[in-house]
Each structure stands twice: as structure tokens, then as C-alpha cells.
């Protein structure tokens, strides 16, 4: 029996995949041109209205770069008036003072800014454009205007050795929260995995820094550290469970249980064709891996099946070609060697010298 659909808590509204940056770790889809037919203001407002009616409390406005949408203040106002907590997830490129004031007046509750490194040369190289100074200026503007500030730093082989300096920078910016999130290998990050996957020594050194930072900054700044799946004995539960708490809507209206689910061989579900509540409760893309009925062994009989829920379906499909397979990150997976082989190469005696493929500017 298929589990009944719970009420979703959060909506990730990916307003556009256009972005001025060219980060090689980007998890946006490879086929970016497919998403050029972006939803209109009216279509997004309908989605927000339907999401609020379903019980969604948090609306994360993301991309790409959501500031490229001229109607962003209007969309923020709609979500705010519907009673949802609004969070802007941004590179901060384009967050001028007039734009920021307009967003504050529209009701924006929170700003999350991405930072690539702690100093200009490395940051600009990773981002693909000169952006470091503008990001810091935007972070200061966010604090000046009274918003809570989260700084997100995607960690990988190219910047993880500077994690102490990165934490120091974020502390100086007065952030309320820092997310030190190791790269998840989807989209462009998957294409660049060999150049991005850190070594075990790098991760161990980073953990020492994070542990010390948490103790030192307790009560002043929340320090979140997301470890890379590839070095874990067990996988993480996908989005807190497949189609359990979160949903994503892509720029063209595709509704997804997680941001990477467009890769799965299941029928497309679009808010341009059906209501959000109907999609959430009955679309095959949402029901296929909800609950436990779909599980194969060893997940089906594992004591942890209610803890990690078989791991990530998109990662399982990406690595094995079977979305119902046990996530190969799990050491109990019969295909765990797909992960251990990648880790062995990252930790091999020969230095990794692979050219990064940047995400195209759009």
C-alpha cells in the first residue's frame, strides 16, 4: 500500500536558471536551454497560493540567480502576504541598495548569500567572474538593513584547505549562520567530480576546524557542516524523505520532490498542467519512492530503513542506472564499490589534475 502523502513544509522556487556566475560545482541541470521558457509572474503567484493552501510555511526563492527576475519583489510580496517565511538564496550579484530596500519593503524575511572562498583571487576563479568584493558588500548591506544573514560556502578540493579562513571571514561579516556544505555531485558538479572530490586528509583537517569553530562561536553564529556523501558509511535521507517535507518547482514549471529529480526516468509533472496539490499527492514522480514499499534488499530488511530511507534516489540512479537501488554511498550496497573507487582515486598517490568544466554564463 502506498503511504499517504504528508503535508509539505518547504517550497524551493527555482525562479530562473540564468546566473552570472560559472561555478563548476553548480547542481543546476546540464541542459540549461531546456528551461528558457520561464513561468510568468502570474503562474508563480498561483503556485505560491496553492503551496500555502497545502500548508507550506517556508518559501525559498532560488535559481540560478533569482535577482535576475525583475518581478522578484512582487513574488516576495505574494509569498509574504500568504503567510510564508521568505528566504532569498542568492549570489548577491545585483543586490544593490535600491533593490534590497524594495525587497525589504515587499516583506522578505531572510537572505542567504553564497561565498566561494575567503580571498578575491580564489573566490573569483571559482565563481568565474570578479565577484568577491561585491559579495562582501552585499553581506554588509544585508546586515545593515536588519535581515538575518546566512552565508553558504560549497566546499570541495579547491577551497576546503582554507576553511579556517573562510569561517573567520563569515564571522567578520556578522552572519547569523554559516553553511559549510560539501559538494553534492549533481549537474555540473557531477561532470566535475574528479576535480572537486576532496581527500580524506582534507576532510579530517576541516572537521577539526569546524569543531573548534562551533565551540568558539556557540551562541553567536550557527555553524552547519554537511559532510560529503562519498565518505559516509550510511547515506543521508533524501530531503528528509522522498516527497515527505519539501518540494521544488523549476523555472519552467516542473514540480520535483528534490532539485535533482529531473534526471529520473519518470513522467514529468508540471504545474502548468496540474495543480500543485494533485501533483504532490498522486504524480508518479512524487509517489514512486514515498514510504518504503519500493525498497529492494538490503534496504527492505535493514534496521535503518526508517532512518535513511534508502538514501538518495537521484544519486542511486546516477551511479547505478536504477533509481530504486540502494544508494551506493551505503557500505551495505552491493554496488558500494562505485563510491569507494571514486574515493580511492581522489586519495591516490598521483595528484588529481583535471580541468574544471565551468557552468556556462546565461
Q: Any binding-site annotation on 19?
A: yes
- The whole-number pLDDT of residue 205 equals 97
Give the whole-number percent of the chain exceeding pLDDT 90: 88
- Could you tell me the pLDDT band of residue 37, with boundaries at 50, 70 and 90? very high
Q: How many CB atoms lie within 10 A of CB 94?
A: 16
Q: Which residues of 208-242 are buried (b: 16+ CB within 10 A; e: fewer)?
A: ebbeebeeebeeebebebebbbbbbebbbbbbebb
For 302-330, letters b (16+ CB in 10 Å) and e give bebeeebbbbbbbbbbbbbeebebbbbbb
Q: What is the pLDDT of residue 118?
A: 97
At 351, is the pLDDT very low, low, confident or very high (cuts 50, 70, 90)? Answer: low
Which pLDDT score, from 0 to 100, does residue 14 have? 98
Residue 131: the pLDDT is 96
> Is 299 annotated in some ligand binding site?
no
Sequence spans of domains, the chain = 8-361
Query: What pLDDT score was predicted for residue 164?
Result: 98
314 is in an annotated binding site: no
The mean-pLDDT minimum among 1-5, 8-12, 315-319, 332-336 falls in 1-5
pLDDT for position 128: 93
Average pLDDT for the chain: 94
Q: Is the pLDDT of residue 260 over 80?
A: yes
pLDDT at residue 1, rounded to an integer = 38
Question: Strands 246-249, 58-62: parallel, antiparallel or unpaired by DSSP?
Answer: unpaired
pLDDT confidence of 359, banded at 50, 70, 90? Answer: confident
pLDDT digits 0-9 by tens, 213-235: 999 999 999 999 998 899 999 99
In this structure, the number of other CB atoms found within 10 A of the CB of residue 254 comes to 22
> pLDDT by residue (tens digit) across 106-141?
999 999 999 999 999 999 999 999 999 999 999 999
For residue 40, give every residue at least 6 positions away whose Cβ sits within 8 Å of its Cβ, in sequence order, or none.
Answer: none
pLDDT at site 238 = 79
C-alpha cell of residue 111: 537572505
Residues 208-216 have a mean pLDDT of 97
Could you give the CA distance from residue 278 to residue 203 in angstroms, rounded to a whole number? 43
At residue 125, the pLDDT reads: 94
Contacts of residue 116, Cβ cutoff 8 Å, sequence gap at least 6: 23, 122, 123, 124, 126, 127, 131, 132, 153, 154, 159
Neighbours of 176 (CB within 10 A): 14
Smallest CA-to-CA distance from 186 within 30, 14, 20, 12 is with: 30
- For the segment(s) 8-361, the CATH number from 3.30.460.90, 3.10.310.10, 3.20.20.70, 3.40.1280.10 is 3.20.20.70
pLDDT tens by residue, 13-34 = 999 999 999 999 999 988 888 8
- Residue where the block lists cell 553564497: 114
User: So what's the pLDDT on residue 2?
Assistant: 47
Phi then psi dihedrals of residue 134, to 5 deg = -70, -35
pLDDT at 360 over 80: no
Q: What percent of the chain has pLDDT over 70?
A: 97
Give residues with Cβ within 8 angstroms of 240, minimum separation 6.
Answer: 246
Per-residue pLDDT, 241: 87
User: pTM of the entire structure?
Assistant: 0.94
Q: In whole angstroms, what is the distance from residue 331 CA to residue 335 CA?
A: 9
Among residues 139, 194, 180, 185, the alpha carbon closest in space to that of 341 is found at 194
Residues 6+ apart with CB under 8 A from 22: 127, 128, 129, 358, 359, 360, 361
Average pLDDT over residues 324-350: 93
Amino acid at each position: 500500500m502506498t503511504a499517504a502523502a504528508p503535508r509539505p513544509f518547504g517550497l524551493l522556487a527555482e525562479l530562473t536558471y540564468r546566473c552570472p556566475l560559472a561555478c563548476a560545482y553548480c547542481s543546476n541541470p546540464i541542459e540549461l536551454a531546456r528551461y528558457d521558457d520561464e513561468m510568468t509572474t502570474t503562474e508563480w503567484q498561483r503556485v505560491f497560493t496553492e503551496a500555502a493552501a497545502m500548508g507550506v510555511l517556508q518559501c525559498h526563492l532560488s535559481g540560478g540567480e533569482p535577482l535576475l527576475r525583475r518581478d522578484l519583489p512582487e513574488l516576495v510580496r505574494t509569498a509574504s502576504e500568504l503567510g510564508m517565511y521568505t528566504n532569498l538564496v542568492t549570489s548577491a550579484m545585483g543586490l544593490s541598495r535600491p533593490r534590497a530596500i524594495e525587497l525589504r519593503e515587499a516583506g522578505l524575511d531572510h537572505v542567504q548569500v553564497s561565498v566561494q572562498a575567503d580571498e578575491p583571487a580564489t573566490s573569483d576563479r571559482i565563481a568565474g567572474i570578479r565577484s568577491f568584493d561585491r559579495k562582501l558588500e552585499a553581506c554588509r548591506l544585508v546586515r545593515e538593513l536588519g535581515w538575518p544573514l546566512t552565508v553558504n560556502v560549497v566546499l570541495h578540493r579547491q577551497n576546503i584547505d582554507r576553511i579556517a579562513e573562510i569561517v573567520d571571514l563569515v564571522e567578520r561579516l556578522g552572519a547569523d549562520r554559516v553553511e559549510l556544505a560539501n559538494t553534492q555531485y549533481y549537474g555540473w558538479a557531477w561532470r566535475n567530480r574528479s576535480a572537486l572530490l576532496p581527500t580524506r586528509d582534507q576532510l579530517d583537517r576541516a572537521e577539526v576546524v569546524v569543531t573548534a569553530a562551533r565551540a568558539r562561536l556557540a551562541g553567536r553564529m550557527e555553524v552547519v557542516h554537511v559532510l560529503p556523501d562519498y565518505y559516509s558509511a550510511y547515506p543521508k535521507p533524501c530531503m528528509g524523505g522522498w516527497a515527505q517535507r519539501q518540494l521544488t518547482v523549476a523555472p519552467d514549471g516542473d514540480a520535483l520532490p528534490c532539485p535533482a529529480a529531473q534526471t529520473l526516468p519518470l513522467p514529468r509533472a508540471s504545474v502548468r498542467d496540474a495543480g500543485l496539490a494533485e501533483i504532490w499527492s498522486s504524480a508518479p514522480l512524487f509517489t514512486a519512492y514515498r514510504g518504503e514499499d519500493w525498497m529492494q534488499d538490503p534496504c527492505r530488511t535493514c534496521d535503518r530503513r526508517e532512518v535513511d530511507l534508502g538514501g538518495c534516489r537521484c544519486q542511486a540512479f546516477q551511479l547505478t542506472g536504477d533509481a530504486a537501488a540502494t544508494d551506493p554511498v551505503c557500505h551495505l550496497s552491493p554496488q558500494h564499490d562505485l563510491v569507494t573507487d571514486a574515493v580511492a582515486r581522489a586519495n591516490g598517490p598521483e595528484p588529481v589534475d583535471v580541468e574544471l568544466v565551468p557552468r556556462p554564463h546565461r
